[in-house]
Amino acid sequence: MRTALVYHEEMTAARLLWDDPECEIERPERLTAAVERLQQGGLEQRCLQLAAREASEAELGLVHSPEYVSLMRGTQALSTEELQALSGQYDAVYFHPSTFHCARLAAGAALQLVDAVLTGTAHNGLALVRPPGHHSQRAAANGFCVFNNVAIAARYAQKRHGVHRILIVDWDVHHGQGIQYIFEDDPSVLYFSWHRYEHGRFWPYLRESDADAVGLGPGRGFTVNLPWNQVGMGNADYMAAFLHVLLPVAFEFDPELVLVSAGFDSAIGDPEGQMQATPECFAHLTQLLQVLAGGRVCAVLEGGYHLESLSQSVCMVVKALLGDPAPPLLGPMVPQHSALESIQSVRAAQAPHWTSLWQQGSTPTLSLSTCSPERRPSPVSPGGPKCKAAEAQTSAVLSSLLDRLHLCATPPVRTAIALTAPAAAMVLPPDILRQEESAPREETQAWARLHEALTQDTAFTALGKVLHLLNGILDGQVSSGIATTPAAASTLEVVLRQGLSHGAQRVFCVALGQLDRPPDLANDGRRVGS
């Protein structure tokens, strides 16, 4: 079992008991919608399902003060009026008689996930929890958060499992200031957060959410804030943030465990975030994180208030954790000017602390040139004032998402392998398809006649297998494959032509090491990158 899914239905018990427009979005249906979608997609059954346990008070004490834990324990016995009065003591918080139980389950779920991953029971996983955690502080509830689930899990991983370096990736659209405060002077926990900031004019309105807040004392450089100063950030902006900020720093940090504060209010359709990234983007973000810490990635739900967008994004994360290939990202893959400014400012602020950011000085030459936009859908209008047209476009994009989920079905075969002798005698793992030579001989012969090198027996046989493999990939039957051949350049040229004439729009060739001769890729320079 690769991927753990930690959940408990009792976390749906807490709900808002009075009128409060700010808090009403944090409702039980967030969890039920996400779980139902996981079931519908057949994803829940592919996971190791674990029932959440309550965190003990000692475990809560890894992050929170005893007085605060006692105060929260006391909420179980309060009347509605008393609960409302206590809620008013905090910013954007509501309590329910079941809140303490739910919040202990939420923290406990994160701990159980960490246990499963660090004992090897699972490779990675997701905890579906509420209330969320990343705004919660040592002695304060904040922003719907009661206990800081991810912060507790980080301290627990260190104390209980002896993990040294932990990376926390907070892709929720709000700044997890609670996590920042808890680890701000601690170099053993690297905290990365991007968040809607709008030059300080968005909640929680903190100066310390800006890019120049990098941590304190020995923790300098171990807080990485990427403030978005406009709404409407999309797939290209999120990918650029990971590729140009998070991943360079994370590789240099070399974490032993990755915790994700996985909020989906940063996805399209969310009323809080007003961003444009589509659910598939979260599959890509998850995939990128899996290259770190030996793939030990534990995601814990934070925000996410558009039920459809939330549910689809959760499915994308689970699919990526299970190892399914990420669906292609649609829309123009060009970062916005404002995103590049934000990326540049955090690189500048962090450059003194991370050698990997020196490379291009603190001013990355992020290319503004574009990939060929033909056959890509028209861009969703980014940011700007909310208008009817933009909203209509957003909901049009959203309603097409479900269709695309079906179109992007995962191929039944993950990896096919086409080998020539003597490698063909190799014993293969059971989940790898041995590609047989069953392409139409005539087609192979026609190709081979054009290339002297391919008339040779082993090369001819190999070409037949490779063409068959390629057809499997183009038909959606096979995800990826590997092949051997004594005539690599000629085979590559044939495969390239075949791919381009059978539906591939753009092909990227990467050569590692040397081919028998330089292949001729110039036949269609518009579509072949190398």
Comparison of 276 and 444: residue with beta carbon closer to ligand Q9C: 276
Q: Where are the beta strands (DSSP E) in 332-455?
A: 359-362, 413-418, 432-434
CB of 204 to ligand Q9C, least distance (A): 8
Comparison of 215 and 303: residue with beta carbon closer to ligand Q9C: 303
The listed partner (Zn ion, ligand Q9C, none) that binds 203, CB under 5 to 8 Å by sort, is ligand Q9C
Output DSSP code: residue 212: T
Which positions from 39 through 58 interact with Zn ion, judged by CB under 5 A?
A: none
Asked if 269 interacts with ligand Q9C (CB under 6 A), we say no
Comparison of 129 and 289: residue with beta carbon closer to ligand Q9C: 129
Comparison of 28 and 97: residue with beta carbon closer to Zn ion: 28
489 in Cβ contact with 515 (< 8 Å): yes
Residue listed under structure tokens 């360079």 = 248
Asked if 132 interacts with ligand Q9C (CB under 6 A), we say yes
328 in Cβ contact with 280 (< 8 Å): yes
Asked if 170 interacts with Zn ion (CB under 5 A), we say no
> Which of 162, 137, 154 is CA-nearest to residue 72?
137
> By CB under 6 A, which span of 117-125, 138-146, 157-165, 395-403 interacts with ligand Q9C?
138-146
Among residues 8, 123, 134, 135, the one annotated as catalytic is: 135
- CB neighbours (10 Å) of residue 41? 19
Comparison of 255 and 263: residue with beta carbon closer to Zn ion: 263
> By CB under 5 A, which span of 29-37, 295-303, 431-439, 502-510 interacts with Zn ion?
295-303
Comparison of 234 and 303: residue with beta carbon closer to Zn ion: 303
26, 115, 172, 324: residue in contact with Zn ion (rule CB under 5 A): 172
Which positions from 82 through 101 interact with ligand Q9C, judged by CB under 6 A?
A: 92
Q: Which residue is nearest to ligand Q9C (CB)?
A: 303
Asked if 22 interacts with ligand Q9C (CB under 6 A), we say yes
Asked if 174 interacts with Zn ion (CB under 5 A), we say yes
411 in Cβ contact with 402 (< 8 Å): no
CB of 172 to Zn ion, least distance (A): 4
Task: At 165, list the tokens.
Answer: 């370096």
Instruction: Give dist(CA 199, CA 206) in Å, integer.
Output: 10
Comparison of 115 and 172: residue with beta carbon closer to ligand Q9C: 172
Which positions from 110 through 169 interact with Zn ion, judged by CB under 5 A?
A: none
Asked if 303 interacts with Zn ion (CB under 5 A), we say yes
Write the DSSP string, 44-102.
GGGSEEEE--PPPHHHHTTTS-HHHHHHHHHGGG--HHHHHHHHTTSSS----TTHHHH
290 in Cβ contact with 99 (< 8 Å): no
Asked if 144 interacts with ligand Q9C (CB under 6 A), we say yes
Asked if 172 interacts with ligand Q9C (CB under 6 A), we say yes
Question: Distance of CA 13 to CAs 29, 34, 69, 150, 349, Å?
Answer: 10, 16, 20, 21, 43
230 in Cβ contact with 338 (< 8 Å): yes
The listed partner (Zn ion, ligand Q9C, none) that binds 151, CB under 5 to 8 Å by sort, is none
Question: Distance of CA 466 to CAs 123, 224, 391, 426, Å?
Answer: 32, 45, 46, 17
Asked about 135 being catalytic, the answer comes back as yes
The listed partner (Zn ion, ligand Q9C, none) that binds 132, CB under 5 to 8 Å by sort, is ligand Q9C
* Buried/exposed code over 462-495 (b: 16+ C-beta within 10 A; e: otherwise): bbbbbbbbbbbbeeeebbebebbbebbbbbbbbb
Task: At 512, list the tokens.
Answer: 């590692």
Comparison of 265 and 493: residue with beta carbon closer to Zn ion: 265
265, 270, 308, 324: residue in contact with ligand Q9C (rule CB under 6 A): 265
CB of 439 to ligand Q9C, least distance (A): 52
CB of 380 to Zn ion, least distance (A): 21
Counting Cβ atoms within 10 Å, is residue 376 exposed (0-12), middle (13-18) or buried (19+)?
middle
- CB neighbours (10 Å) of residue 432? 14
Helix (H), strand (E) at residue 268:
none
Site string for Zn ion, 218-257 (x = CB under 5 A): ----------------------------------------
Residues of this chain that bind Zn ion (CB under 5 A):
172, 174, 263, 265, 303
Residues of this chain that bind ligand Q9C (CB under 6 A):
22, 92, 132, 135, 143-145, 172, 174, 203, 263, 265, 272, 302-303
By annotation, the residues acting in catalysis are 135
